Amino acid sequence: MQVFKVFCKVLSKHKSSILIYIVIYLMISLIMSRSIQQTGELKFTKVSLKIAVENQDQGEVGKGLVAFLEKNNKIKEVPADQEAIKDAMYYQEIDYVLVVPGNFTEQFLLGKTEGILEGTAVPGSSTASLIENEIQQYLNTVNMYLKAGIDADRAVTLSSEDMEQQAAVEFLEESDAQSLPAGFYFFQYIPYVFLVIMILGLGMVMNTFRDKELAARNKCSAMSFFQQNLQFILGCILFTLGVFLFFMITAFCLYSDYMFSVKGLLSAVNALAFSVCAASVAWFCVQFVRSAPELSMMSNVISLSFSFLGGVFVPMDLMSDGVKQASKFIPSYWYMIANQEIQKVESLAETGGIYQSFLIVLLFALAFFSVGLLVNRMKLRTA
């Protein structure tokens, strides 16, 4: 088993770089699974803004307006001068500055509603529109009660009660927006890390065995060419299975409930299919490099390209139709399709379309291996 021992020794020399990517992946998957789950809940919350208010008015409407804004926003003191206001807005310490003049209530009761408030905001800011809309809604409600013959105190009270009423918010596409299990996000980024690890790990070993002097000595050895390749293939299979099992054991430790379900089983099969494809991609890539730096660069280029175009890092919903059509020629796209479809099944009887994605990923593996084998044969003929 001399070839197999050399295979393991070469892998051991590059274990640090492989471990770095494993640690980075685990950190990304854990952080994303928790952050996305927290932000992906189906609930509507009203935006709270930071408003600096200077109320110079002692009338009922001015006081009522400030009290209304205090209920849902954070009220702060107005900075001392214009420069301080600009600095506070630049550093996002305040979103809006509102000055209620001393004659505001008097002017409002006389029917003047335009230009009696002084507001300052960052030009083009969406927060300015939100605040001004709230103020306008409140003043319109107060004005409605005043026109109905109700006195100012009672109009302010009724308007505050009306503005406290909240409409029920319902999501039109609840099934598509539902929160996904944390295990889903663990498998979400597996294409990236599998490609990097396979290209770096297997690629380094393959590149070492492709060295001219080493290849020449191997041809002169007593071990047959068949035995050499058999041991080498065995090393590739064990490395691929080892990487796959490591991540599956990690998934079982972190998300045991998910893994002991139909979804977990299908996700593991999906990852296994892609691990085979990633190994084939590594075989393909090594045909075009000569040194370790070139291989490291190619591993990053291939893994990032496949991840961005395949929907790993960028949701497919954000991609244009043209990009989606091009992504179908990338194995990570079909992995992601299967990963999303897996979340919709409850039993193995509902998995018909998912098996098709598994098969397509394996066909990509066969294609990369075949092209890599063809390139290798052409090089041998021209050597």
Let me know whether 30 and 108 are in one domain: no
pTM for this model (two decimals): 0.63
**45 assigned to some structural domain:** no
Let me know whether 225 and 279 are in one domain: yes
Let me know whether 129 and 163 are in one domain: yes
pLDDT tens per residue, the chain (383 residues)? 676 777 777 777 777 777 887 787 777 767 766 665 554 444 555 667 788 888 888 888 888 888 888 887 888 888 877 888 888 877 778 888 888 888 888 888 888 777 778 787 777 677 777 778 888 888 888 888 888 888 888 888 888 888 777 666 565 554 444 567 778 888 888 888 888 888 888 878 777 766 666 666 666 666 666 676 677 788 888 888 988 999 899 888 888 888 888 999 999 999 999 999 999 998 888 888 777 788 888 888 888 888 888 888 887 877 888 888 888 899 999 999 999 888 888 877 777 778 889 999 999 999 998 998 888 778 767 65
Boundary-marking domain end, from 147, 168, 189: 168
Let me know whether 216 and 312 are in one domain: yes
Let me know whether 319 and 278 are in one domain: yes
Let me know whether 254 and 161 are in one domain: no
Let me know whether 55 and 103 are in one domain: yes
**CATH value at residue 55:** 3.40.190
Let me know whether 200 and 158 are in one domain: no
**160 assigned to some structural domain:** yes
Let me know whether 137 and 206 are in one domain: no
Helices (H), 73-189: 82-90, 104-109, 126-147, 152-164, 174-177, 182-188
**236 assigned to some structural domain:** yes
**356 assigned to some structural domain:** yes
Maximum Cα interatomic distance, the chain, rounded to a whole number of Å: 109
Number of compact structural domains in the chain: 2
Let me know whether 159 and 220 are in one domain: no
Q: How far apart are CA 232 and CA 344, in angstroms?
A: 40
The helix-helix angle for 331-342 and 190-209 (nearest 10°) equals: 140
Let me know whether 22 and 164 are in one domain: no
For residue 176, the Cα-to-chain-centroid distance in whole angstroms is: 16
Buried b vs exposed e over 83-97: b needs ≥16 C-beta within 10 Å?
eebeebbeeeebbbb
Q: The domain containing residue 7 runs over which residues?
A: 2-40+176-382
